[in-house]
Structure 1
């Protein structure tokens, strides 16, 4: 048994083909409440498309620095994200809203990608956006929420990550410990180079070994708020575990652009009083980014907690 096989037993696995089986809904809810993450198998995204997308991402992130810097966006964590003091081994490209043809077109135009590369990006973006919305719907159904269309119109964000690992950086942080701000994240891991670690319910970090052909799903701050504390926003990080370049691709279901979010009535009662004040995702995202500069991003959600 390889490391990846063992990991598939440690991290809960959800089989998308088994829905609407009640047992799979139970497993989904349990994984989301206890771990805040799970591995998705039989997810319907072709392995060939995943492989092509990784090749496109690698080629874009290998472009000269001056060309990468041309890819700009006014929002934090979009456009080109260069290495920083906090994460010196990490760089990325980000797109704020994959559902916007203008956003994807602008991104591709700034990097002068080929027509084939643009086609791969568009196909992959559409496939992962459809999947992330489907998972959000199934999560709502697993909690007994009637309105499973609550996330309609929420932006899907995209980030293409490169970790510049080398022999000298072994054991160093690739990406600092954090929770994602949005509702949930689909991560296509590097099938050859690991390093992702998630915190379990005992507060210890568990190494997530690559499992080729699968996708890794983790829940963020917005999932915890929307579920009134039932869903778990898993803390995670990346450490250099191999002296090799690591590439990963993340699709985020964030939150409504202007509408304030709060837990639905089905998840609030006398035994489960409302935990968070309603708030708008972009406001929260900006506040969290400001706190990140002070190394206090983990305090962002606590500021919105209703005193008991």
Structure 2
């Protein structure tokens, strides 16, 4: 697949040849487009899941509200003052029981449940593969995300003619390690910030995925990887859908020994993901600046 794209493109089938390019994308952009991943996540399954996403978002509010928190951060997100056009279903995707609970909450059909389960399993495999390839590229041995929580979100942006030009989701960074997004294949809006501080549009690309690195990746890599600021803007009068998997760490976050030496001293104090999320919430610093509060004094 050849893509004219403003952000780096990583070919999933071309490893280890793509390893250095993957690390470079993480260092310079904090995000990349992933292509040729269809042995794990087929285009047909992506299409089926997008259809399910649209049908679930058509449920009446009283059904959506049944998607309650099982773990912190899961559950339905209603439109808010900060993001009035955005809503999302949420569930943890650690096991099939998570999908069962979610589908029972909102009374999803058996066929919808089957599609969600297949998609979650494929997405989790991609999360494992991509995070492992990133660690390999950085020279980290024995890296594993076993037991790490992975949150799954089905997003809708309620765009209409009167909202064109407004914000679909405010500027932010993701708090976790990495996020894999199946973006809307037809409706634009996603923008990422480059190193100059300018926002770059990530236009729709059917069959491809977008991977964003989060705050935890920056701290874990001792500042080597970049956490990418991004936002969604309403650019046209059509509803916009995306599906995302957010990988968050288990246990203590700290840079591995391979990334710390005399020339690269440890930058961040050790922390847990729960501590960091609470810090972001209490300080209302949602664009990666909360990490500065964890810097170790020189």
Q: Which residue is 2:113 aligned to?
A: 118
Q: Which residue is 1:299 aligned to?
A: 289
- 2:138 matched to 1:146? no
- 2:149 matched to 1:159? no
Q: Tell me if structure 1 keeps the 8 A contact 2:227–2:288.
A: no
Q: Which residue is 2:268 aligned to?
A: 276
Q: Tell me if structure 2 keeps the 8 A contact 1:8–1:39.
A: no
- How many Å separate the matches in 2 of 1:195 and 1:228? 31
Q: Tell me if structure 2 keeps the 8 A contact 1:156–1:252.
A: yes
Residues 279/248 of structure 1: CA separation in 2 closer, same or farther (3 Å cut)? same
Structure 2: gaps (5+ residues): none
- 2:181 matched to 1:187? yes
Q: Which residue is 1:222 aligned to?
A: 216
TM superposition score normalised by structure 2: 0.95
Greater helix share, structure number: 1
How many matched pairs? 296
Give the 4+ runs in structure 1 shifted more than 6 A: none
TM superposition score normalised by structure 1: 0.92
- How many Å separate the matches in 2 of 1:101 and 1:48? 21
- How many Å separate the matches in 2 of 1:109 and 1:288? 32
- How many Å separate the matches in 1 of 2:197 and 2:121? 36
- How many Å separate the matches in 2 of 1:235 and 1:297? 6
**1:6 CA drift (Å):** 10
Q: Tell me if structure 1 keeps the 8 A contact 2:165–2:233.
A: yes
1:43-192 equivalent positions in 2, closer than 5 A: 43-44=37-38, 45-73=41-69, 75-95=71-91, 97-149=92-144, 151-192=145-186
- Give the secondary-structure state (helix, strand or coil) at the position aligned to 1:17: coil
1:230-245 equivalent positions in 2, closer than 5 A: 230-245=224-239
Q: Tell me if structure 2 keeps the 8 A contact 1:289–1:297.
A: no
Deviations 1:260-297 (A, max 9, x none): 110000000011110111111122123213333xx666
- 2:204 matched to 1:210? yes
**1:8 CA drift (Å):** 3.3
Residues 77/155 of structure 1: CA separation in 2 closer, same or farther (3 Å cut)? closer
- 2:15 matched to 1:19? yes
Q: Tell me if structure 2 keeps the 8 A contact 1:165–1:245.
A: yes
Q: Tell me if structure 1 keeps the 8 A contact 2:175–2:288.
A: no
